[in-house]
Structure 1
Amino acid sequence: MEDLLQTQREAERKVIQLFPIEVLDDISLSAGPGQSFADEYETCTVYSDEEQYGYDFATWIKGTSMSPKYLDGEVALIRETGFDYDGAIYALVWNDQTYIKKLYKVEDGFRMVSINEVGNPERFISKDDDFRIVGLVVGHFMPVEGV
C-alpha cells in the first residue's frame, strides 16, 4: 500500500513540458468541401506536448475527409513550398477556398484526393483555375487542452 501511495505522489509531481505554437485562428484547412481564405488573419497560441520543427506557419484542420490520419480540430504545420511530388499532403487555395489534400500532377492540372474517400470524390483542378499551393503539410498535432 505504501508503494502505491509513493508511486501516486511521484506521478503527481511530474511536470510535462509544453511548447507554444502560434496558429492562424480564423483560417482553417478544409478536410471537406472548402473554407474561405483571407489575406488578413488573427492568431492564437496553442500548446503541443512535443516540440515542433521545420514549418513556416500553422493552422486548423476542419472536417473529416483526411481522417484517420488528419483529424478535425488538429493543427496542421505547413512549410511554404510549391509542388514537390505526387501524393504528398498540401495546403492549397482553389477558387478562394482552402484545403488540405493529397495532390497528383496531371497533364492539364492536378487531381485533389482525400484520404477518407467515403463521400469525398476526387476533384480535378484545371491549370486555368484560380489555384495555388500554399505549402507542404509537414506535421500535425492535437493541441493540449486545459492550458
Structure 2
Amino acid sequence: EPVSAGTGNYLEDSVKETYDVGHLAPEQTDFGVRISGDSMEPLYHTGDVAWIQKKDSLANGEIGIFYLNGNTYIKELHDEPDGVYLISLNQKYHPIQILESDSFKIFGKVIGKCKGAEIPGFH
C-alpha cells in the first residue's frame, strides 16, 4: 500500500507484495514503500519506491516514514523549540505539528529510493 506524501495513508503491519530488487535497494534496507502524492517533490515522486531502514527514532532533519493518527506519511522530522513537526519538501504543504494527544510512531528512516518502473514486475 502506498504511503502518502500528502494527506496520509495507513501502512499496515503485513507485507503486501514481495519483489526481488537486487542492487536497487541499499544493503541496510528493511522494506520499501511506494510513494503517492507530491508533497515530497522534487526529491520523491508518485510511483517512486523509498527504501526504509527500521528505526524508532530519527535525528532532526532526517526523512522518515511516520504513523500519525491512523495515517502514514513520508516527511522530514523537525524538532523545534515550539514542538515537533513533520515537514513536506514541497512548500505548498503546511507543516504538521505532532501533539501530545496524537497517536504517533516512527517506522524508519528513508535511506534511498528508486523509480518503481526499475523493479521487475512492480506495478
Give TM class, smaller chain. Answer: 0.7 to 0.9
| Pairing partner for 1:76 from 39, 50, 53 | 50
Equivalent in the alignment of 1:137? 110
> What residue identity is the alignment partner of 1:139?
G
Structure 2 residue runs of 5 or longer lacking an equivalent are: none
Separation in 1, partners of 2:105, 2:13: 14
Q: Scaled by the length of structure 2, what TM-score is found?
A: 0.84
CA RMSD after TM alignment? 2.1
Alignment of structure 1 residues 54-73 onto 2, 5 Å:
54-73=28-47
Separation in 1, partners of 2:104, 2:82: 13
> What residue identity is the alignment partner of 2:41?
S
Structure number with higher strand proportion: 1
> What residue identity is the alignment partner of 2:48?
E
* Identity between Structure 1 and Structure 2 (%): 30
Asked if the contact 2:86–2:98 (Cα under 8 Å) also holds between the matched residues in 1, the reply is yes
Q: Using the TM superposition, give the Cα deviation of residue 129 of structure 1 relative to its aligned residue in structure 2, in angstroms.
A: 0.8
Aligned residues: 120
Q: Scaled by the length of structure 1, what TM-score is found?
A: 0.72
| Structure of larger gyration radius | 1
Separation in 2, partners of 1:102, 1:31: 11
Q: Does 1:53 align with 2:32?
A: no
Equivalent in the alignment of 1:19? none
> What residue identity is the alignment partner of 1:116?
N
| Pairing partner for 1:97 from 71, 74, 84 | 71
The verdict on how the C-alpha distance between 1:135 and 1:86 changes in structure 2, with shifts beyond 3 A counting, is same
The verdict on how the C-alpha distance between 1:98 and 1:62 changes in structure 2, with shifts beyond 3 A counting, is same
